[in-house]
Structure 1
Amino acid sequence: MAVAWSLLLRGGTLIDGTGTPRRRADVAVEGERVVAVAPSLAGAADRVLDVAGRVVAPGFIDMHSHSDLFYFGCPSAESKIRQGVTTEVVGMCSFSQAPLRPDQHALVEGWVGGIGMTPDLKWETFGQYLDALRSVRPSVNVVHLVGHGALRIAAMGFEARPAGADDLRAMERLLGDAMDAGAWGFSTGLVYPPSAYANTQELIALARSMRSRHGFYFSHVRGESAMLLDSIAEAIRIGDEAGVPAQIAHVKASGRENWSKLEGALGLIDDARRRGVDVAGDVYPYNAGSTKMDNLMPAWAHEGGMAKLLERLTDRAARKRITDECLVAGERWGTVSQGGVGFDQIFIAACRRRELEGLNLAQLASQTGRAPAETLMDLLLEEKCAVGMVSFSQSLENVAKVLAHPALMIGSDSIPLFEGEGDKPGKPHPRCYGTFPRVLSEYARERKLFSLETAVHKMSGMPAQRLGLRDRGVVREGAVADLAVFDAATVKDESTYPDPHRYPSGIPYVIVNGRVAVDGGRLVGPGAGRVLAPPR
Structure 2
Amino acid sequence: MTTNLRVALACIMSVAACTRALPPASTPAASVMGEPTAAGATLLIRNAHIVDGTGSPWYRGDILIAGDRITAIGTLPAAVARDTINAAGLVVAPGFIDMLGHSEYPLLKDGRAISKITQGITSEITGEVTSVVPVNENTLRELDSATRASVTWTNLDGYFGALERARPAINLGTFVTVGSLRRSVMGDASRAATADEIARMSDEVDAAMRQGAMGLSSGLVYAPASFASTDEITALAKTAAKYGGGYASHIRSEGARLVEAVNEAIAIGERSGTWVQVHHLKASGRPNWGKVRDAVAAIDAARARGVDVSADQYPYAASGTGLDATLPGWAHAGGTDSLLARLKDPAVRARLRAELTGTGAPGSEIGTSAGGPSGVMLANVITDSMRKYQGRRLDEIARSRGQDPVDALFDILIADRARTAAIYFSMSEDDVDYIMRQPWVSVGIDAGARAADSTVTERPHPRAYGAFPRILCRYVRERHVITLEDAVRKFTALPAARVGLDSRGVLKAGMYADITIFDPNTVCDRATFVDPVQTSVGIVHVIVNGVPVVRNGAVT
TM-score, with structure 1 as normaliser = 0.93
Instruction: Give the Å deviation of 1:299.
Output: 1.1
In 2, Cα distance between the equivalents of 1:21 and 1:327? 54
1:8 aligns with 2:44: yes
Matches of residues 212-361 of structure 1 in structure 2 within 5 Å? 212-327=242-357, 329-330=360-361, 334=365, 339=369, 341-351=371-381, 352=383, 353-361=386-394
1:152 aligns with 2:182: yes
In 2, Cα distance between the equivalents of 1:202 and 1:354? 40
- Tell me which moved more, 129-138 or 248-257: 129-138
Matches of residues 120-269 of structure 1 in structure 2 within 5 Å? 120-269=150-299
In 2, Cα distance between the equivalents of 1:187 and 1:338? 26
Within the candidate set 67, 70, 80, 1:44 is matched to 80
1:98 aligns with 2:133: yes
CA contact (8 A) 2:379 2:459 kept: yes
Instruction: Give the Å deviation of 1:122.
Output: 2.5
Question: SS of the counterpart of 1:330?
Answer: coil
CA contact (8 A) 1:225 1:338 kept: no
- Tell me which moved more, 451-460 or 466-475: 466-475
In 2, Cα distance between the equivalents of 1:169 and 1:90? 24
In 2, Cα distance between the equivalents of 1:370 and 1:119? 37
Q: Deviations over 1:75-110 (max 9, x none)?
A: 111110111111101011x2113211146532x226
CA contact (8 A) 1:331 1:342 kept: no
- Tell me which moved more, 146-155 or 187-196: 146-155
Go from structure 1 to structure 2 and tell me whether the alpha carbon gap of 1:479 and 1:104 turns closer, same or farther (over 3 Å shift). closer
**Amino acid aligned to 1:26:** D
CA contact (8 A) 1:287 1:395 kept: yes
**Amino acid aligned to 2:196:** D
In 2, Cα distance between the equivalents of 1:260 and 1:320? 35
Instruction: Give the Å deviation of 1:41.
Output: 2.9
**Amino acid aligned to 1:387:** T
Output the aligned Cα RMSD.
1.8
Q: Deviations over 1:16-63 (max 9, x none)?
A: 000000111111111111111113432321001111000000000111
**Amino acid aligned to 2:404:** A
Give the structure 1 partner of residue 17 of structure 2: none
Within the candidate set 485, 490, 493, 2:517 is matched to 485
CA contact (8 A) 1:33 1:479 kept: yes
Give the structure 2 partner of residue 19 of structure 1: 55
Go from structure 1 to structure 2 and tell me whether the alpha carbon gap of 1:439 and 1:17 turns closer, same or farther (over 3 Å shift). same
Matches of residues 421-432 of structure 1 in structure 2 within 5 Å? 421-422=453-454, 424-432=456-464
CA contact (8 A) 1:102 1:124 kept: no
Instruction: Give the Å deviation of 1:451.
Output: 0.8
Go from structure 1 to structure 2 and tell me whether the alpha carbon gap of 1:423 and 1:76 turns closer, same or farther (over 3 Å shift). closer
CA contact (8 A) 1:249 1:282 kept: yes
1:455 aligns with 2:490: no
Within the candidate set 369, 375, 379, 2:408 is matched to 375
CA contact (8 A) 1:348 1:387 kept: yes
In 2, Cα distance between the equivalents of 1:84 and 1:104? 33
**Amino acid aligned to 2:410:** M
Question: SS of the counterpart of 2:504?
Answer: coil
Instruction: Give the Å deviation of 1:181.
Output: 1.4
Give the structure 2 partner of residue 442 of structure 1: 474
Instruction: Give the Å deviation of 1:368.
Output: 0.7
Question: SS of the counterpart of 1:312?
Answer: helix
**Amino acid aligned to 1:461:** A
Instruction: Give the Å deviation of 1:506.
Output: 0.6
Give the structure 2 partner of residue 86 of structure 1: 122
CA contact (8 A) 2:470 2:525 kept: yes
Give the structure 2 partner of residue 31 of structure 1: 67
Within the candidate set 410, 435, 441, 1:408 is matched to 441
Q: Deviations over 1:227-255 (max 9, x none)?
A: 11111110000000000111001000001
In 1, Cα distance between the equivalents of 2:373 and 2:456? 26
Question: SS of the counterpart of 2:340?
Answer: helix
In 2, Cα distance between the equivalents of 1:260 and 1:516? 43
In 2, Cα distance between the equivalents of 1:146 and 1:334? 33
In 1, Cα distance between the equivalents of 2:42 and 2:134? 40
In 2, Cα distance between the equivalents of 1:10 and 1:170? 54
1:419 aligns with 2:460: no
In 1, Cα distance between the equivalents of 2:36 and 2:147? 51
Go from structure 1 to structure 2 and tell me whether the alpha carbon gap of 1:209 and 1:104 turns closer, same or farther (over 3 Å shift). closer
Instruction: Give the Å deviation of 1:334.
Output: 4.5
Give the structure 2 partner of residue 527 of structure 1: none
Matches of residues 450-529 of structure 1 in structure 2 within 5 Å? 450-524=482-556
In 2, Cα distance between the equivalents of 1:484 and 1:376? 42
Go from structure 1 to structure 2 and tell me whether the alpha carbon gap of 1:330 and 1:261 turns closer, same or farther (over 3 Å shift). farther
Question: SS of the counterpart of 1:363?
Answer: helix
Go from structure 1 to structure 2 and tell me whether the alpha carbon gap of 1:2 and 1:239 turns closer, same or farther (over 3 Å shift). closer
In 1, Cα distance between the equivalents of 2:337 and 2:387? 23
In 1, Cα distance between the equivalents of 2:290 and 2:365? 17
CA contact (8 A) 2:363 2:404 kept: no
Instruction: Give the Å deviation of 1:519.
Output: 1.1
**Amino acid aligned to 1:3:** T
In 2, Cα distance between the equivalents of 1:245 and 1:234? 13
Go from structure 1 to structure 2 and tell me whether the alpha carbon gap of 1:41 and 1:334 turns closer, same or farther (over 3 Å shift). farther
In 2, Cα distance between the equivalents of 1:510 and 1:305? 41
CA contact (8 A) 1:34 1:476 kept: yes
TM-score, with structure 2 as normaliser = 0.90
Go from structure 1 to structure 2 and tell me whether the alpha carbon gap of 1:103 and 1:325 turns closer, same or farther (over 3 Å shift). closer
Give the structure 1 partner of residue 6 of structure 2: none
CA contact (8 A) 2:216 2:240 kept: no
- Tell me which moved more, 179-188 or 163-172: 179-188
In 2, Cα distance between the equivalents of 1:203 and 1:469? 25
In 1, Cα distance between the equivalents of 2:96 and 2:126? 14
Go from structure 1 to structure 2 and tell me whether the alpha carbon gap of 1:333 and 1:171 turns closer, same or farther (over 3 Å shift). farther
Instruction: Give the Å deviation of 1:261.
Output: 1.5
Instruction: Give the Å deviation of 1:522.
Output: 1.6
In 2, Cα distance between the equivalents of 1:150 and 1:282? 22
Gaps of 5+ in 2: 1-34
Give the structure 2 partner of residue 532 of structure 1: none
Q: How many residues align?
A: 516
